[in-house]
Structure 1
Amino acid sequence: MKTPNQEFEVSFEFFPPKTAEGIEKLRETRKELAKFDPEFFSVTFGAGGSTRDRTMETVLEIQREGYQAAPHISCISSSKAEIRDLLQAYQAHGIKRLVTLRGDVPSGEVSAGDFRYASELVEFIRAETGDYFHIEVAAYPEFHPEAKTPAADLLNLKRKMDAGANSAITQYFYNADAYFRFVDQCDEIGITIPVVPGVMPIYNITQLARFSSICGAEIPRWLKMRLEEYGDDMASLRALGVDVVSELCEMLLAGGAPSLHFYTLNQSATIATIINNISAAAD
């Protein structure tokens, strides 16, 4: 059940834990976040399939607990036969939703496998399984770091939709206008699938800066300077992060975002506070 004042849909992303301690921690995190009645929990898939078994184990445990689980599936470094086996395994276990990505080429690897782009993977999944899976794909309001132009990046999302994607989840961002402009541009070129904003809570500035440099997400200058100002004062930094992200989510929902997808980093407390803040503001 949703919390009493929660009138919006949420979903949560986890990464597959490596240790027994991590598995227990994720179980507690899941228990806390399940209180918000998520549409689904997604589980990431390491570069080149490096977490394939742990991803499946985590997904199946989530499903056994009675929740909808959505494994990430990436095509870089994978053969069609490997993807076919993975799809058949998920079908056999009754998994109905996938987060379908191109993925990153592992360091030092030359071959990209049988697929080059996520749109090719979406097309392959549809050819193999018809309409069985609800397919989520990635979208980039501040544009993919490898995109040649913003227009080319938008067309890439349209190719994924045309190949059979049902909805999209964005890379995280801290500028609501970037999301709203992106959605308007999607409308202009005929992208009609829901585009759900991805939300990254702020835990520490070093970690956030590292993630952002890799994925191309912009940390606004004012926010970066405010966060850096706190130095080692993690309590104040996280309090600011909660305020900033709560306000961002309120703006997104007020502007028509279909739901919110949280990148949890396998943590629950900060996200629970943010969701409760949004609910209280809407009351």
Structure 2
Amino acid sequence: MSLVEDLRGARRRFSVEFSPAHDEATAARQWRAVERLAPLGPLFASVTYGAGGGDKAGTVELASRIARSTPVRPVAHLTAVGQPADQLAQVVDDLLAGGVRDVLALRGDPDGDPRAPWRPHPQGFQHADQLVRLALRRGAESVGVAAFPLGHPESPDPDTDLRHLLGKFRAGAGFAIAQLTFDVEDFLRLRDRLAATGSDVPLLPGLLPVTSPRVLEVTRRLTDGHEPSWLHRRLDPFLDDRGAFREEGMRVAVEDGRRLLAEGVPVLHLYSLNAASNVEALVGELGLAHAPGGSCRTPVVP
């Protein structure tokens, strides 16, 4: 089955995200995480793409290795930042040659400063829907896109942002992953507004356990600084106790995951930060493990 078919039929499942490693030690630790999480049966493993395409070789390499060496379906991120269309087409071709059939198409943020004005490459793309069409034309089996529960920072209002998301679906996107938010209600409101348009495209929420002050800094970048006051009330008392901070951060993530599942959300997208332990804990607490086989894909023969 295709990834979109898997997502439509999924119940109480998870996906996981990795980022290309920049040194051998991190790469080794990352691959150990892949090997530990694969037996839990993620629906897919997404692999991020560096700003300006800087990590594109690492993305192709890691996604292709997952396709070749595990039963997990890789989904490679692809962004339009700083790259001409012919270079982006070549990246898609390289992914397909490596056994990667699915892509997450993102316009991306300006290299070095996410808040800087967006300027497309002169021979590149202005919007993510153009990337969706490119990937499908080159032969991708399915293409996902980003969704923004709080609205994209450049959108003037929620209705405009929703129209842009629907435009990406009209271009051929078959699923969407929502930007990280710590208020479950933000995601549920987006899901309900999308459903009200008649769309049934699968929408996945992102879930990241805030297990250290460093991870909290990461979340500030991922959420564009949107941090609910209740999160600080939960975590601030433990800033000087590393173990207690991690326990409380995991407790918050489990509570959010249970709420999402209770609201009928079938698949949770878990950010690994290239480590396995937090994802393993969440999968266990939330009952998301799935026996290998089933809807997992068969590895490509080297």
TM-score by length of 1: 0.90
1:159, 1:231 → 2: CA distance? 43
2:29 corresponds, among 25, 28, 38, to: 25
2:13, 2:129 → 1: CA distance? 26
Report what 2:41 is aligned to: 37
Q: CA deviation at 1:219?
A: 2.3
Report what 1:87 is aligned to: 92
Structure 2 gap segments, 5+ residues each = 1-10, 289-302
Contact 1:17 1:54 in 2 (8 A): yes
2:67, 2:285 → 1: CA distance? 29
Contact 2:56 2:91 in 1 (8 A): no
1:145 corresponds, among 149, 153, 165, to: 153
How many pairs are equivalent?
Answer: 273
Q: CA deviation at 1:38?
A: 0.7
Matched residue SS, 2:150: coil
Q: Deviations over 1:153-186 (max 9, x none)?
A: 1111101101000000111122221111111111
Report what 1:218 is aligned to: 226
Higher mean displacement: 17-26 or 135-144 = 135-144
2:13 corresponds, among 9, 17, 24, to: 9
Matched residue SS, 2:287: helix
2:54 corresponds, among 40, 46, 50, to: 50
Contact 1:173 1:217 in 2 (8 A): no
Report what 1:268 is aligned to: 276
Report what 1:99 is aligned to: 104
Q: CA deviation at 1:94?
A: 2.4
Q: CA deviation at 1:239?
A: 0.5
1:195 corresponds, among 198, 203, 210, to: 203
Structure 2 vs 1, CA of residues 107 and 218 (structure 1 numbering), >3 Å: closer, same or farther? closer
Q: CA deviation at 1:235?
A: 0.8
Q: CA deviation at 1:218?
A: 3.0
1:254 corresponds, among 262, 265, 270, to: 262
1:162, 1:117 → 2: CA distance? 13
Structure 2 vs 1, CA of residues 277 and 257 (structure 1 numbering), >3 Å: closer, same or farther? same
1:161, 1:218 → 2: CA distance? 26
Report what 1:62 is aligned to: 66
Question: Partner amino acid for 2:75?
Answer: A
Contact 1:105 1:112 in 2 (8 A): no
Q: CA RMSD, aligned part only?
A: 2.1
Structure 1 gap segments, 5+ residues each = 1-6
1:155 aligns with 2:163: yes
Q: 1:166-245 counterparts in 2 under 5 A?
A: 166-213=174-221, 215-216=223-224, 218-245=226-253
Question: Partner amino acid for 2:49?
Answer: F
Q: CA deviation at 1:217?
A: 5.9
Matched residue SS, 1:38: coil
Question: Partner amino acid for 1:160?
Answer: K
Q: CA deviation at 1:137?
A: 0.7
Q: 1:117-128 counterparts in 2 under 5 A?
A: 117-128=127-138
Report what 1:4 is aligned to: none
Question: Partner amino acid for 1:239?
Answer: E
Structure 2 vs 1, CA of residues 35 and 128 (structure 1 numbering), >3 Å: closer, same or farther? closer
Contact 2:60 2:98 in 1 (8 A): no
% identical aligned pairs: 28
Q: CA deviation at 1:69?
A: 1.1
Q: Deviations over 1:222-269 (max 9, x none)?
A: 211221221221111111111111111111112111301111111111
1:279 corresponds, among 264, 272, 287, to: 287
Contact 1:143 1:216 in 2 (8 A): no
Contact 1:194 1:258 in 2 (8 A): no
> Looking at both structures, which has the greater relative contact order when contacts are Cα pairs under 8 Å and sequence separation is at least 6?
2
TM-score by length of 2: 0.84
Matched residue SS, 1:273: helix
Contact 1:13 1:43 in 2 (8 A): yes
Question: Partner amino acid for 1:117?
Answer: H
